[in-house]
C-alpha cells in the first residue's frame, strides 16, 4: 500500500507518494497552481501513481496541506503546512532545529524540539515583501526568470538598500534606483537581503541551529547565503525543498 501527500501551495501544487513500509519516496509531481485546484491535484496524483506503477486501488490515506488544502475534497484529512514542513525536513535532516520556509505568498520560521515536534512558529502572510512574490515582481521588472535573478545577485559587489516595507512601494524604490544608475545585480542582491532581513525581524535572534531552508525560494541562487548573513548563522538548504510540505503530509498519512 502507498500513501500520498498533496501540498496545494499558493504558487504550485505538489504531490508525493511514499510506500507504507519505509516511508520511501516512490514518485512526485508538481504543477503551477490553477483555478481548478482539486482537479489539478487529482490529475497530479494519478500521474504520480502511474510513475510508480500504482493505481488508486493501491492508495491508502491522502493528506492535503498548504494554502489550498481545504479545496482538495478527495483528501482523507488536512494538516497545517507548519507540521508538514517540520515532518518533511526532518525526514532527511534529523538534526534540524529551525526551519525557514519562504513560499510564494508567505514566510514562516518554525522552531522544533529535539524530537522534531513543532515547538512554536512565526509567520508573515500579510506582506509580499518578505515572500517569493517579491522576487517574482523584481524578475518581471528585469524581464528575466528567478534563476537568472539569483545569478545577477551573486555577481553584486555593492547590494542596494531596499528600505520599503511594502512590495508596491519597494517596486517604486527599485524604479528610482534604476533611474539613478544602480546596477541590476546590485538591486537583485538588495532585494534578497531585504527578504532575509524580514525573516530575521519576524524571528528575532532566538534561532537554534542547525537551520534549514525550505520552500521554492530556497532554490533561488544566493537566497540561502543572504539568509545566513542576515541570521548570523549557517543555513542549509533542505533536500528537495519544494516538496518538503507534500512529503511531510505523505509521511503523516502513512503513520496514521
Spatial separation of the C-alpha atoms in residues 27 and 34, rounded to whole Å: 22
Spatial separation of the C-alpha atoms in residues 235 and 212, rounded to whole Å: 6
108-137 residue pLDDT tens: 999 999 999 999 998 875 565 567 778 888
Percent of the chain scoring above 90 in pLDDT = 55
Residue of higher predicted confidence among 206 and 249 = 249
pLDDT of residue 155: 80
190-228 residue pLDDT tens: 888 888 888 888 877 678 999 999 998 899 888 999 999
When mean pLDDT is compared over 94-98, 135-139, 181-185, the highest value belongs to 94-98
Which domains can be identified in the chain, with CATH numbers?
A: 2-87+243-255 (3.30.420.40), 95-238 (3.30.420.40)
The three cell numbers of residue 181 are 544608475
Q: Radius of gyration of the chain from Cα atoms?
A: 19
Which pairs count as long-range contacts for 224-233, CB under 8 Å and 24+ apart, including other chains? 226/153, 226/189, 226/192, 226/193, 226/195, 226/196, 227/100, 227/196, 227/199, 229/193, 229/196, 230/193, 230/196, 230/197, 230/199, 230/200, 231/196, 231/199, 231/200, 231/203, 231/207, 233/207, 233/209
Amino acid at each position: 500500500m502507498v500513501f500520498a501527500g498533496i501540498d496545494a501551495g499558493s504558487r504550485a501544487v505538489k504531490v508525493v507518494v511514499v510506500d507504507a513500509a519505509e516511508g520511501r519516496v516512490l514518485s512526485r509531481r508538481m504543477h503551477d497552481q490553477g483555478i481548478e485546484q482539486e482537479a489539478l491535484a487529482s490529475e497530479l496524483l494519478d500521474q504520480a501513481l502511474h510513475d510508480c506503477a500504482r493505481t488508486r486501488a493501491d492508495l491508502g490515506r491522502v493528506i492535503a496541506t498548504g494554502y489550498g488544502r481545504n479545496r482538495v475534497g478527495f483528501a482523507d484529512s488536512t494538516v497545517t503546512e507548519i507540521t508538514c514542513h517540520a515532518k518533511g525536513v526532518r525526514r532527511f535532516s534529523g538534526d534540524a532545529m529551525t526551519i525557514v520556509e519562504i513560499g510564494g505568498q508567505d514566510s514562516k520560521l518554525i522552531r522544533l524540539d529535539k524530537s522534531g515536534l513543532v515547538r512554536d512558529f512565526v509567520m508573515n502572510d500579510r506582506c509580499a515583501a518578505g515572500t517569493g512574490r517579491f522576487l517574482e515582481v523584481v524578475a518581471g521588472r528585469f524581464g528575466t526568470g528567478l534563476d537568472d535573478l539569483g545569478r545577477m545577485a551573486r555577481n553584486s559587489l555593492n547590494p542596494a538598500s531596499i528600505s520599503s516595507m511594502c512590495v508596491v512601494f519597494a517596486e517604486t524604490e527599485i524604479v528610482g534606483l534604476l533611474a539613478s544608475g544602480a546596477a541590476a545585480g546590485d538591486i537583485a542582491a538588495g532585494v534578497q537581503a531585504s527578504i532575509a532581513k524580514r525573516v530575521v525581524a519576524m524571528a528575532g535572534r532566538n534561532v537554534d541551529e542547525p537551520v534549514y531552508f525550505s520552500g521554492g525560494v530556497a532554490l533561488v541562487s544566493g537566497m540561502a547565503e543572504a539568509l545566513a548573513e542576515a541570521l548570523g548563522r549557517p543555513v542549509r538548504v533542505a533536500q528537495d525543498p519544494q516538496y518538503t510540505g507534500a512529503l511531510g503530509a505523505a509521511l503523516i498519512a502513512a503513520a496514521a
